[in-house]
């Protein structure tokens, strides 16, 4: 109860001190002038300096052990379908068999377009599933508004 009374008194003092000053380290700050006003009354500083937060210690359980086991709970089927879809779309290797990661890393960046032009067919075959899904998604995004417009306008 005492802390509520202190807060009410502090709010009343701040309300009476001006239109809308902000309190910064016991001094009022007028944001419109960007200057610190040090004319805060000693009563304001005294009241606000006496009010302190009361914190308790957090309970610490020394016997806690983390686990790397994943529990899918009810989402196991969704994760399974997602993995099946990704396995169908993506291939196991990131780069095709004809390309070597060390060759790409040793090649300067300005010469990468030349290396990619040499192996563009291998890259297309490697990522054909991802490209197909992307093209189908774009076509779906274009066809859906047209189909909806035809359905709504032709009724």
pLDDT, residue 40, reads 63
pLDDT, residue 21, reads 47
pTM of the entire predicted model: 0.47
Rounded distance between C-alpha atoms, residue 116 and residue 27, angstroms: 64
Question: b/e per residue, 2-30, with b = 16+ CB within 10 A?
Answer: eeeeeeeebeebbeebeeeeebeeeebee
Rounded distance between C-alpha atoms, residue 144 and residue 155, angstroms: 17
pLDDT, residue 20, reads 47
Q: What is the pLDDT along the chain (155 residues), one digit of tens a residue?
A: 566 666 666 666 665 555 444 444 445 544 455 555 556 677 777 777 777 777 888 888 888 888 888 888 889 999 999 999 999 999 888 888 878 888 788 888 888 888 888 888 888 888 999 999 999 999 999 999 999 999 888 86
Q: Name the token pair of 28.
A: 């009022």
Cα 84 from chain centre: 28
**Is-contact 38 27, C-beta < 8 A?**
yes
Separation in Å, CA 140 to CA 35, 88, 124, 152, 154: 58, 20, 22, 18, 20
């Amino acid at each position: 109860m005492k802390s509520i009374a202190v807060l009410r008194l502090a709010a009343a003092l701040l309300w009476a001190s001006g239109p809308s000053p902000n309190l910064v380290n016991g001094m009022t700050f007028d944001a419109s002038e960007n200057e610190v006003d040090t004319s805060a009354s000693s009563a304001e500083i005294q009241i606000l300096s006496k009010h302190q937060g009361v914190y308790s210690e957090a309970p610490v359980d020394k016997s806690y052990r983390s686990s790397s086991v994943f529990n899918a709970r009810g989402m196991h089927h969704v994760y399974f379908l997602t993995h099946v879809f990704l396995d169908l779309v993506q291939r196991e290797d990131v780069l095709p068999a004809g390309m070597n990661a060390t060759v790409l890393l040793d090649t300067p960046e300005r010469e990468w377009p030349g290396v990619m032009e040499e192996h563009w067919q291998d890259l297309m075959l490697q990522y054909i599933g991802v490209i197909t899904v992307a093209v189908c998604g774009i076509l779906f995004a274009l066809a859906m508004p047209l189909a909806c417009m035809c359905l709504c306008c032709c009724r």
